[in-house]
Amino acid sequence: MSRATRSLRLAALTATLSMACAAGSTHYAVSAASPSMAAPMAAPASMSESAPADSDGVDEAPAMARPAPPSAPPPPPAAPGRAMPAINRATTNTGPAGNTGNGNANPAQPANTTAASPAPMLIYTADLDLQTAREDVVPTIDRIVDAATELGGYLVRRTDTSVQVRIPSATFRDGVRRVETFGEVLHRAVSAQDVSEEFRDLEVRLQNLRAVRRRLEEFLARAGSMADALQVERELERVTREIDTIEGRMRFFAARVAFSLVTVNVHARTEQAVIVGPPIPPRRAVELPVEWFRRLGLERLLNTRE
């Protein structure tokens, strides 16, 4: 094969791969189902080793804030009977919450596995407004932080009158109930955000990009010239950056799913206002159908002119 022909094929291949990476097309998902993709599928083991650091930088999870291990799937509060297999799925295959590490990921059916496990991947959040005595506001916030820590959670943010904590999703319901006992609940809002679809898309894109990277690496090994090698190298860098981004995004989702956010605003009970209204009118006088009854009193008695 002439050098010109090889360059031409290389350019065509990189262009095709770039398009596929950008689109995350199913064409390459199917390609990834080949046995040669088994290794890339098992690759995200490193993701399970990383902390579920929040990518928004708002809260930094301490060591205890690691995503739940695969053996302890957190049940969603709204549907206690349904565990969070999304975490399991991510864990078993490519999920950031952990990896079995035994290489038993089934790369032959990445998409099918996803479709076969309908359990949603849910991010739970709770917003509570509590009312306590004025002197109990700060102690109540302390108790909320303590409760979150006891449940394996951690403090996210705190002010004089509010607190945000993350607690393991497995204990979300118990945690919210416990917090509700710390004061009079004025308002309660619990929501669940389903990120299953987005997570699945990220999985597919990750698989495709790893397939592309593998091919690029193979092609780099066969590069005949320095120019070809540099061109493949640049493409390899771009694909690797994209893989890192997707992995980070998946870690973010895993952390959010594993730890539910509970926001509590603590309101001081206002002093009972004394309502000053119009004076209560005198009690209605009894009326009887008796004439003399209406003529009783000093006015008539003392009117001696008549």
Partner 1 sequence: MRAMNLRTLTLSAVLCLGALSQGCASFHMNTPSGFAELDGNDDFDYRATNAEGVVVAVRSERNALHGNLEFWSRAIDERLRGQGYVPDGDARPVTNASGLEGLQRRYVRDLGGRPLRYWITVFRRPSGFLRRDRVFVVEAGGDREVFDRAMPAVERAIAELST
Give the nearest distance from C-beta 287 to partner 1 in angstroms.
8
Nearer to partner 1 (CB atom), residue 157 or residue 295? 295
3-state secondary structure of 179: helix
Phi-psi region of 101 (alpha: psi -120 to 50; beta: other; left: phi over 0): left
Nearer to partner 1 (CB atom), residue 234 or residue 294? 294
Which helix or strand (DSSP H or E) is residue 132 part of? strand 122-132
Give the nearest distance from C-beta 294 to partner 1 in angstroms.
8
Binding to partner 1 (CB under 8 A) within 56-75 occurs at: none
Candidates 157, 177, 188, 300: give the one binding partner 1 (CB under 8 A): 300
Residue 249 burial (10 A CB sphere; 0-12, 13-18, 19+):
middle
Binding to partner 1 (CB under 8 A) within 270-299 occurs at: 282-286, 288-290, 292-293, 295-299
Q: Give me the sign of the Cα torsion angle 147, 152, 153, 159.
A: positive
- Residue 304 binds to partner 1 (criterion: CB under 8 A): yes
Nearer to partner 1 (CB atom), residue 160 or residue 306? 306
Give the nearest distance from C-beta 160 to partner 1 in angstroms.
54
Nearer to partner 1 (CB atom), residue 277 or residue 282? 282
CA distances from 83 to 65, 167, 291 (A): 19, 16, 82
Cβ atoms < 10 Å from Cβ of 278? 5
Give the nearest distance from C-beta 280 to partner 1 in angstroms.
13
Cβ atoms < 10 Å from Cβ of 140? 20
How big is the site for partner 1, counted in residues (CB under 8 A)? 20
Nearer to partner 1 (CB atom), residue 5 or residue 284? 284
Give the nearest distance from C-beta 277 to partner 1 in angstroms.
21
Distance between CA atoms of residues 229 and 218, nearest Å: 11
Amino acid at 13: L
Give the nearest distance from C-beta 285 to partner 1 in angstroms.
3
Residues near partner 1, by CB under 8 A: 282-286, 288-290, 292-293, 295-302, 304, 306
